[in-house]
Amino acid sequence: EIFFRDIKQLLHIKTFIGTSKNAVMNQIWTALITILLLKVMKATAKFGWHLSNLVAFIRLNIFVKIELQKWLDKPFENHEKPPAKSLQGVLFPDFYKK
């Protein structure tokens, strides 16, 4: 019951967007995965986050490019910006350095 209360309170799922079985199942699975990821982040962080505060801060910083673990551990400190050039999604970065 606590798990489903978290889904209703933190993710604000009051009604389902779609009416088909597939739409409802997709929304439920997405909510479950989101809550589990948030609880894992809370558990690995050195900072004593409350789950509701973590959700609020992530909503505010969703498009900020920072290292997540450093931010979770020390959210109120200035962190170095990530390198300007990154090869995201590249499986073999040495191949492209030729």
Say which residues have a Cβ less than 8 Å from residue 91's Cβ, sequence separation at least 6: none
The rounded distance, in Å, linking the Cα atoms of 54 and 50 is 6
Please give the model's pTM, rounded to 2 decimal places: 0.63
Q: The tokens of 95 are what?
A: 């191949």
What pLDDT does residue 19 have? 84
Query: Could you report the per-residue pLDDT of 42-83, keeping only the tens digit for each?
Result: 999 999 888 888 888 888 888 888 888 888 898 888 767 666
Q: Is the pLDDT of residue 36 over 80?
A: yes
Q: Is the Cα torsion angle 83, 86, 89, 93 positive or negative in sign?
A: negative
